[in-house]
Chains A and B, each alone.
Chain A
């Protein structure tokens, strides 16, 4: 038994030894049960236990718990220990509680009381114990109780450093539990200034907290940028002796450096040229240091140094504005690709994926293609190979697609099972995206099926069929190729499906060749029939009936198959039904009818590749065009289109498609009969007024809701004027006695140019006039906003014009904030407004006929793709006003689509850089109940939701 440190509980040590000496699991359990019974009787016994005994037993329980047994008593004794005046007893009490007590335990009230006492103790060690306990449990109740106390402790001048450290992290933990305890106002600058603290430990703790606060409210904490940069600059220029014990294996303060670099990734590159210059210097220094010979051979030295380097590279990628640094970063990572440390190779591959998405470094990354391919082939660790696949995918473009796809296909033959499915999808996406010649694309996909048929998901083979159907130039080639593939002795079932479908549509294109005559095609397909699953057979039956139309000469052979017992009496109802129906069709229908019913499939509507959507879902962040931090994309919308499935019986019936009143899948008669009390007619908004608002170029001078006086840093509630801007591009955003702000904007696809007009209404100059735009939450990764600077002086009565260029990267919900600061008569003025940049602004109206509307509507059948709201009318239900608003919203009003003429049906496409989202909208008014029902379907769930939210407020 080894020596026991500290106060040593002998009884505990004996017990642990006993357990270790147990020869079998049963013996161990027996010993534990004996001990549990003993402790239970002690706790229940008449004799009162002293603190030491309680501590010892509680500790034993803890040990038993750590062995994996459940503990259902002793909690009260542990709580008792908290109020002991002996530190060692208190400490064990707290340990038991943090390990074993869940947040909703009934003893929580008592625990919180003990924590309160210890927090106010004069002994900092006791205070820290309490803080650690709060941080370990971090329940909501604790957040509510201590949320206001801890900030005080954090910034108070009386608090000693170690307590400050714990307080900062404790507050961070509570913030994660309950975000509305964020200290603001006066706390902000005091917390930010912890970055300047003399004690490195305090800064290290505080920077974690500040990072979290910045994420919640970037604007308020903007002051941290320059402080973080100067702190970082002091660290990177320090020699390793300067920071004493905060130097880790000759690297000065690696943790703090890493956190500061991370903190700066919450903001765009610093605007202030001085700060920006210093930051770039820091980054250069870090890159330079990477080239210096190591100061130690220990792996700890290189790990710490490279950790900082990788974080610096992340920041360089995030800033995406310094081509020189980006290329240097890329070269550095290139060196790591061949490093002997596996860890570094892994991280270099990972980091380079991000570099590949920047236009400045994409070319530099491509230089390493050969090394990455080698990594894919030779790395011994599958997780490293996985990274290599990701990087090849990221660096692929038109120039190297054939090579990269070729290498990936080669590798696929021997690839680990765990990454095959994902590789298949990646290959399929790359082949489609960069195909200049679609015969190549068809070859790649068929190769995929040949090499890794089991891993080719439905989406992949649906997609190749969609593309073949939509591209006439490749149909003959596809038919020829699938026919050849079918001749291989072993043929994957997915190949049979693709071949069946394609020959059914385009078999006639190769029928001229005797080697692939109709009869040969049919026989070849049918030779696979009995080896296939029911679903594939069903598909083949459809192919056969299509052959009846394409090749009348083999009709009898097909009819024989259809009426064979194994089909018409098949135990699968689907097969039975198809055989019967197809047989009847081939016997009864005239050739004209056959030709119509079995006509070639019409082109599929163009849409985002459904494979891409699956991949995004599986591997968030690894999909194309994602430039922001990976986190933002964590839960992308699932856009799963079941296209291709319609190639069953429905496709034959398509021409006779009866438009029933309820094709949309929602019954139009259902108008929430339970809510029948008509709302009071909203008389203050006449429909004529609305029309003026919707169409008017110039509006009433004062936008509503913005009448509050400008004080220091107010956030102006401009909700009313925002609502108006949903349907129009130009107008007055804000006006008060000093200032008027007008907006004129133009939209084209995913781009917007917005002109802001600031009018000085007073007889005095505005000085230091600085409007700035900020993006709350992660909006900056979704909207790329570039602002042209303006003159800092606005003369009396003058107007200043500022241009904003906005690019929509992906769909978003937050609005950018416009903060205007200026000095008027020596008084600092500040106001913050929300800019009316809503997702519908990037919508373009789309015209379509009713058939394609319904096809699309039906294809968007995933429940998450639909958003619906039933709501009371706020404005008079005037049809012209409604139409005007819908048109102003940026969507096409489609007439003659809905069987009910009262309903409005619209379509539009939202343009973002990464994808285009088609949106279908249906608005059903119920004038009697003064209600509307709004249904929106789009290929992206977040878009449906947001459009629904925006639109429903307008009616």
Chain B
């Protein structure tokens, strides 16, 4: 199973983290720091897989963002790369050519999309169409609600 997924920028800033196994916050920070340093130090064209402690790390860079997954020893590395790719495709489709800023400003959406793709560290739905359908249904529910906050944010509330 997937143990965790991290999204971070070329500057080493963490953009998204999703943990499928419980760790204390302190340890999460340590793991994150270590991995970001390790991966940023690697050259392009190097292998996308590395052994790290008793886990396997699978990572790939898309534009300015690194996507990094930790998986168990017996998990399939290549398909983990494709999970990352599917996630990127979903973000891209949803935001319309996604960029790092979209993920920063809509981090909650990035989480919601991830939750439809992966659950408990395993792949839940591989069909792009079905994931987008689920997200669209969520958005629809929101739109049906009265946008009362709209007025407040403009000082009308």
Contact = CB atoms under 8 A, between A and B. Distances in A.
A173 interface: yes
B109 interface: yes
A405 interface: no
B152 interface: yes
A56 interface: yes
Nearest to B54: A634
Contacts of B17: 66
Nearest to B148: A52
B31 interface: no
B105 A1 contact: yes
B49 A200 contact: no
Contacts of A384: 47
Nearest to A200: B127
Interface residues of B, number: 68
A245 B122 contact: no
Contacts of A102: 22
Given A135-B119, A255-B123, A307-B77, 4 more contacts: A7-B142, A138-B120, A254-B79, A621-B73
Interface string A302-325: 011011001100000000000000
B139 interface: yes
Contact of A253 (B14, B76, B126): B126
B62 interface: no
B153 A346 contact: no
Interface of A: 1-2, 4-7, 9-11, 13, 16, 20, 50, 52-53, 56, 59, 62-63, 66, 68, 70, 86-88, 91-92, 95, 99, 102-103, 125, 128, 131-132, 135-136, 138, 162, 165-166, 169-170, 172-173, 176, 200-201, 204-205, 208, 244-246, 248, 253-256, 258, 262, 300, 303-304, 306-307, 310-311, 342-343, 345-347, 380-381, 383-384, 386, 621, 629-631, 634
Interface string B103-115: 0111111011001
A630 B49 CA distance: 17
22 contacts: A2-B101, A2-B102, A4-B105, A7-B145, A125-B137, A132-B115, A162-B134, A166-B124, A204-B123, A244-B127, A246-B127, A248-B82, A248-B126, A253-B126, A255-B126, A258-B76, A300-B85, A342-B45, A345-B47, A347-B49, A384-B47, A634-B73
A376 to B, nearest CB: 15
A629 B74 CA distance: 8
A201 B126 contact: yes
B79 A307 contact: yes
B143 interface: yes
Contacts of A303: 78-79, 81-82
B92 interface: no
B29 interface: yes
Given A7-B145, A66-B107, A165 B78 contact: no
Given A5-B106, A66-B14, A245 B49 contact: no
B94 interface: yes
Contacts of A131: 119
Contacts of B137: 125
B35 interface: no
B65 interface: no
B25 interface: yes
B10 interface: no
Interface string B51-62: 100100000000
Contacts of A345: 47
B125 A381 contact: no
A208 B78 contact: no
A304 B46 CA distance: 19
Nearest to B52: A383
A66 B143 CA distance: 27
Contacts of A381: 46-47
Contacts of A201: 124-127, 130
A311 B74 CA distance: 10
B29 A68 contact: yes
Given A66-B14, A246-B126, A4 B106 contact: yes
A34 B121 CA distance: 36
B137 to A, nearest CB: 6
A245 B124 contact: no
A345 B78 CA distance: 12
Closest 10 CB pairs of A and B: A173-B120, A307-B78, A52-B149, A10-B153, A245-B127, A87-B141, A135-B120, A169-B119, A88-B142, A307-B79
B107 A346 contact: no
B76 A307 contact: yes
B134 to A, nearest CB: 6
A307 B127 CA distance: 18
Contact of A254 (B45, B82, B115): B82
Contacts of B9: none
Interface in B1-50: 1, 14, 16-17, 22, 25, 29, 43, 45-50
A246 to B, nearest CB: 6
B128 interface: yes
A77 B62 CA distance: 36
A310 B78 contact: yes
Contacts of A88: 141-142, 145
A300 B78 CA distance: 9
Contacts of B149: 7, 9-10, 52-53, 56
Interface string B146-157: 011110111000
A456 to B, nearest CB: 23
Given A62-B108, A303-B81, A311-B76, A125 B126 contact: no
A628 to B, nearest CB: 11
A87 B142 contact: yes
B124 A169 contact: yes
Contacts of A347: 49, 77-78
Given A50-B148, A132-B119, A383-B51, A304 B78 contact: yes
Nearest to B138: A125
A31 B74 CA distance: 45
Contacts of A66: 14, 16-17, 107
Contacts of B95: 5
A245 B141 contact: no
B138 to A, nearest CB: 6
Contacts of B153: 9-11
Contacts of B108: 59, 62, 91-92, 95
B47 A346 contact: yes
Contacts of B119: 131-132, 135, 165-166, 169-170, 173, 205
A205 B105 contact: no
Nearest to A208: B122
A68 B78 CA distance: 31
Nearest to A621: B73
